[in-house]
């Protein structure tokens, strides 16, 4: 058993301020735009008020994209549309400004932070500030072996916690969370299937890079075999992440939980962040109150995880590229909700007047 018990987070994480949410709802009733006319933007503004403990809500002034990077040994089976061990190329594309998330972040003026938790490449290929946190070089092939040792899993979770603390301490007021991985959707599907008690075929999708039918069948088989290894360790989340997760997934889980402790809201991206969030919910049932689902990725496992956490995605644009792209697309909605809730004037006429 690991020395780190994620169940301890249950006592550390509080819900967003319900009193502030009620106050925000009451203020919304007084605005010149009729309640309900702004749709989900009203709900988003009230959620932000509760998370910030502020009415009126404050603008999202210092958002940050945080991407955890890693390679997964299961990609050797041909379950990904990308070459095994090539996640460092995804990282390089972001650093060079040549990926979708980099383009969107640049346009929105949002800084991007990449954390190498388990890339399978020489550290010299990437900047020191990216690779300095690496837990191990690549994660094990989860269909036949553990992704990590228990010690590595704990190290990765603590890495994610430390990154969350650094972001909160630096003034980051909302995180757009994503992953840069090759093979990552396979352990993500395995974690979700294990935690939801479902079969491999129900959760296995075609990944962000897209795979053909033969690769999908190989992926199903890998998830099925990994599930056999996951079920005996369902009682310990760190052991579960060691068995069928990976360094980047374990770090993301730690990041999500510590972000909730620090009252720092997070927008989730695709199936990988959803899987880590589901592990986090298993440890601390109040934690999902601090998270938003940015988008529908099309991965069946993501939909299953979000349903389990009662998180309703903000967008459905068919974006499958991953890398935090879909979550970043949702950021303007969150900012718009904050601006409307804060800046719309209140009615001057008495309630029940004859105006439309």
Which residues are identified as catalytic? 323
Phi and psi at 321, nearest 5°, equal -70, -20
Residue with tokens 């990765």: 156
Token readout for 293 is: 């689902």
Task: Find out whether 294 and 319 touch, Cβ atoms under 8 Å.
Answer: no
Cβ distance 177 to 256 under 8 Å? yes
Helix residue ranges, H only, 97-234: 100-108, 128-131, 150-169, 185-196, 200-203, 213-230
Strand extents, DSSP E, 28-168:
63-71, 112-118
Buried b (16+ CB within 10 A) or exposed e, 41-71: bbebbbbbbbbbeebbbeebeebbbbbbbbb
DSSP state of 201: H
CA distance 59 to 178: 22
What lies within 8 Å, CB to CB, of 151 at 6+ separation is none
């Amino acid at each position: 058993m690991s020395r780190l018990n994620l169940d301890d987070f249950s006592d550390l994480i509080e819900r967003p301020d319900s009193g502030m949410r009620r106050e925000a709802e009451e203020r919304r009733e007084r605005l010149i735009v009729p309640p309900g006319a702004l749709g989900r933007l009203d709900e988003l503004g009230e959620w932000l008020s509760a998370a910030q403990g502020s009415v009126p809500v404050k603008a999202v002034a210092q958002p940050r994209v945080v991407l955890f990077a890693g390679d997964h040994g299961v990609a050797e089976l041909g379950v990904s549309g990308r070459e095994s061990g090539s996640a460092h190329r995804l990282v390089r594309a972001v650093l060079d400004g040549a990926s979708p998330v980099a383009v969107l972040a640049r346009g929105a003026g949002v800084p991007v932070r990449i954390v190498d938790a388990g890339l399978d490449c020489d550290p010299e290929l990437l900047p020191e500030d990216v690779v300095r946190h690496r837990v191990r070089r690549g994660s094990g092939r989860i269909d036949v072996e553990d992704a990590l040792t228990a010690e590595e899993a704990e190290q990765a979770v603590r890495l994610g916690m430390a990154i969350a603390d650094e972001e909160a301490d630096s003034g980051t007021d909302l995180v757009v969370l994503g992953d840069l991985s090759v093979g990552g959707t396979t352990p993500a599907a395995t974690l979700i299937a294990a935690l939801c008690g479902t079969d491999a075929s129900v959760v296995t999708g075609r990944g962000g890079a897209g795979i053909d039918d033969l690769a999908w069948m190989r992926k199903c088989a890998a998830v099925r075999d990994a599930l056999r290894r996951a079920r005996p360790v369902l009682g310990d989340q760190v052991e579960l992440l060691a068995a069928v997760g990976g360094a980047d997934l374990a770090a993301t889980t730690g990041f999500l939980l510590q972000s909730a402790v620090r009252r720092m809201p997070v927008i989730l991206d695709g199936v990988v962040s959803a899987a880590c969030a589901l592990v986090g919910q298993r440890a601390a049932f109040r934690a999902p109150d601090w998270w938003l689902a940015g988008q529908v990725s099309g991965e069946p496992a993501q939909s299953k995880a979000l349903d389990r956490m009662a998180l309703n995605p903000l967008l459905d644009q068919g974006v499958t590229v991953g890398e935090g792209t879909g979550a970043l697309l949702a950021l303007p909605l969150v900012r718009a909700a904050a601006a409307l809730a804060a800046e719309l004037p209140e009615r001057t006429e008495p309630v029940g007047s004859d105006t439309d």
